[in-house]
Structure 1
């Protein structure tokens, strides 16, 4: 479960949405490390509460594609690489994108509403936690069918939340906001009644490999 054994070409073919998101984030990060130009690009897209209040509302979305450094990028993209494919296959492309972007967006909105005007943030963590939140909803619905999923997802969420509070310079609000949003969307998308309508397309829509 959540082990990636596909070749590079197979991964792209099987998980086009996750592959595209990985590529976009990596390309944008490479652009932001270009001397001079990269600094302006990062500043133009990062979430700055004062500038959002002045009408630069794109800053509620663009921070999802920016990272403060290689370690930050590596952590988020590795999480997306590992957990994203299963959710893309289980939920479908449109629902996956909804979970990913809405979780990141709500996380950024929560950050704007809760923190002061001097607060600035960037990173895809809210969207990543949204993926984990959606899996938490799936755990709720499949606790008897997929106990191994619970054993993996719940500890990861608990440890992630604890570390969010313990580590400095971490957007806790975006993490929690994304997690809750992903969970709520997962409760809607993975509801047994809704899943029942998918069975014509999938013999076992809850299968996770």
Structure 2
């Protein structure tokens, strides 16, 4: 059963496809300004947002996978949260993924690696996956590459562990696994902030002493 396509999700799909076409027409000049570069090697503040609308132009796989996931999880979350909260959540996940990627990129360049650009909506998509798993933990689904039905909560854990292992082992180079984790982390923090849960919940209020009335 496919979810109904809602306005913000639809507009995000259109924006990503439109930017992809601009990349094909403008080439490296577009990526130089709007991809996410390490600090000191071309980084500009707006790249923390714009990189999430760019994709690898060497093929369609990167774009198609992200857009399919955006459609699958985004429509359900937009229907639950409403357009404003959903868009806020998605963009926070994009920026949060970019911030963690900046830290990892700085560390790698400091260790002698060549600076490289990061592109893709995957950080936001992983944030959507995390949000879906938190809101609908027992929803059963089949998602590539798993050949079986699995609960959404289990799927979130599987992808988080996979990203962590691949990020530390380097078994899948050329993929920003820590950006994926950053999207999930900031998505988790955003939801807990909305729910008033730790680390954002204020301490319990001390009860006010009862007002005493003098009886004459």
TM-score, reference length from structure 2: 0.72
Indicate yes or no: 2:54 matched with 1:66.
Answer: yes
Unaligned 5+ residue runs, structure 2? 110-114, 142-149, 198-216
In terms of fraction of residues, the more helix-rich structure is: 1
Corresponding residue to 1:57 among 29, 39, 45 = 45
- Cα separation, 1, equivalents of 2:183 and 2:116: 18
- Cα separation, 1, equivalents of 2:130 and 2:139: 16
Structure 1 runs of 4+ aligned residues shifted over 4 Å read none
Indicate yes or no: 2:126 matched with 1:129.
Answer: yes
Corresponding residue for 2:24? 33
- 1:106 is displaced (CA, Å) by 0.8
- Cα separation, 2, equivalents of 1:51 and 1:92: 38
1:23-76 C-alpha deviation (Å, 9 max, x unpaired): 000011011112xx2321122211111357x66111111100000131110110
- Cα separation, 1, equivalents of 2:82 and 2:140: 19
CA contact (8 A) 2:123 2:184 kept: yes
CA contact (8 A) 1:67 1:73 kept: yes
CA contact (8 A) 1:79 1:128 kept: yes
- Cα separation, 2, equivalents of 1:80 and 1:127: 8
- Cα separation, 1, equivalents of 2:101 and 2:177: 9
CA contact (8 A) 1:99 1:134 kept: no
Corresponding residue to 2:182 among 168, 177, 188 = 177
Tell which structure's C-alpha radius of gyration is larger: 2
Structure 1 pair 157–87 and aligned structure 2 pair: CA distance change class (3 A): same
- 1:163 is displaced (CA, Å) by 4.4
- Give the match's secondary structure for 1:50: coil
Unaligned 5+ residue runs, structure 1? 193-209
Match runs of 1:78-97 below 5 Å: 78-97=68-87
TM-score, reference length from structure 1: 0.74
- 1:171 is displaced (CA, Å) by 0.7
- Give the match's secondary structure for 1:120: coil
